[in-house]
Each structure stands twice: as structure tokens, then as C-alpha cells.
Structure 1
Amino acid sequence: MKFRQNSSRDEIPELEITPMLNVMLVVLAFFVAVAANLAEEGQHLRVRLPQEAEALDIETPETEPDSPEEREFLQVVLQEGGQLFANDRPIEKAQLLEQVPGYLQRSPHRRVYLRVSGDVAYETVIETLTALKEIGGDRVSLVIGSGESR
């Protein structure tokens, strides 16, 4: 059995990089054009993502709920001194813990958000969050952020 020997061992293979450079220049030109348009003061790129109802072709109700009981989330604010507010209304902790199960049972999409406002002891936050989590499970969340109302 005889193996072929490459007679042109001295030849260096050529690599065509011109097509790759053409593509890279087009991509670079695109990013330069986009950056130049976005760099102008007062210009913002607006992106509208489809809402969940649009993505799933679900009809949404025409009217928005006006009463706090009809909202899809319950915002509980824990302030200094252990004061609690549910949707901007003062409420006692025992009363809140009694009302949360009924609120969550009305719809599977309802959520409870706990937001801490001011200097509240860590222990108080954990106690309140734990009590709410025992009732609502994964439908209860702690809001982390600047603490400002939106």
C-alpha cells in the first residue's frame, strides 16, 4: 500500500478574508448609523413589546377596575413603627392576615406585594413577609427598590 505524497509542500494555503471583511464593514456601518441617531439629545428609542393578552390572543375587558378590591395586586406597605397600609389604607396586621386569603381566592392571577417604606427593623419585615407567605405562598413578593410610590 502506497500513500500519496503531497508534491506541493512548499505552497502556503490561501485564505479568502474579503467576504468576511465586507460583512464586518456592513455591520460596523449599521451600528455607527444607529448610534448617531440615538446620540441626538432628546431622542429616545421606543420599543413596544406585546402585552401578555395580545401575545396569547386573549380578549381583555373594556373597563378597568376602579375599586381597590378589583385590582390584580394588593400593595401592602410596611412603615416605621410597624404600621401597615393595604392599597394606601391603614390596616391592622391581624385584619390584613384575615382578608388576604379571600382576596387571593377570587382570582388565580392576583398577587400581594410587600413594600417597606422608611427605617423598619429587618426582623419586622421578615415576620410580616413570612406571615403573608404562609397564606399566599408564591403569590406574595417583597418589592425591592427605591421605596418611592409610583
Structure 2
Amino acid sequence: MAFGRMGDSNEPMSDMNVIPLVDVMLVLLVIFIITAPVITHSVDMDLPQATSEPVDELPESVTLALDGGGDLYWNNEPIALEKLPTRLRDVLETQPDVAIYLRADRDTRYERLARVMAEVRQSGVGRMAFVSEPEGER
């Protein structure tokens, strides 16, 4: 490998060898072409819009509450989880468009909350919402 021009050994070579640079750039280009679709892959979802304004409960609504111990309350009255489906069916007979508002304590076990949500869905309720506190109101 010569560092000078042929025949002139006193002058340094002024041309830069760009072939390794082009090779690296082509490899990087191929990597970006392959990984770009993976990075930009997303799932289209129709997400609900949320507001921070308190929502007034409609007269045809029921509030279900779960405390930290896992006890269930129907409009602030204790109820057993086994009686929930029959009570929901009774309400749906009189008010088919009833809304269920679900409040859960921060310490409620997810399993218990998921079970209550499944019971509400299986009963045929079409509208269910979570109740939360706005930040800073504690």
C-alpha cells in the first residue's frame, strides 16, 4: 500500500479513498430501509376523548363502587357479587339504556375489578364508565 504517488515519493497522496465510506453508508441505508417499517408500525384505534370536567350523573344511572377490601356497593349500599347479575337484569328491564359508573379504590385488586366489569358486560349493559377524581382534589 503506497502513501504517495507513483514515481514521486516526496509528495503525500492528496486523494482520499472513499470506497470504505460508501460501503458503510450503503450498509446503514439497507439497515434503515429494513427497520423503518417496523418502527413506524402502529395499530389504528378509535380512542375516546376525555375531558377533565366533572360529569353529572344521569337519573338512569347506577354507581358501582369497589373499596380496597374488595367489597361491592350498589349506589352506596353493600351488595354481594353473586347478586349483581340479577340486580343488573332487573334494572335493564325497566331502563334498557342505563349507564353504569364504576368507582374503584386505588388499592382494589385488579382481579376483583375485572370480575365486576365482566359481570356488567355479560348482563348486557351497553354503557359503562369509570369515575375518577381530577388531580389535586385529594
Using the size of structure 2 for normalisation, the TM-score is 0.49
Q: Which has the higher contact order (CA 8 A, sep 6+)?
A: 2
Decide which structure has greater helix share: 1
Higher Rg of the two aligned structures: 2
TM-score, L = length of structure 1? 0.46
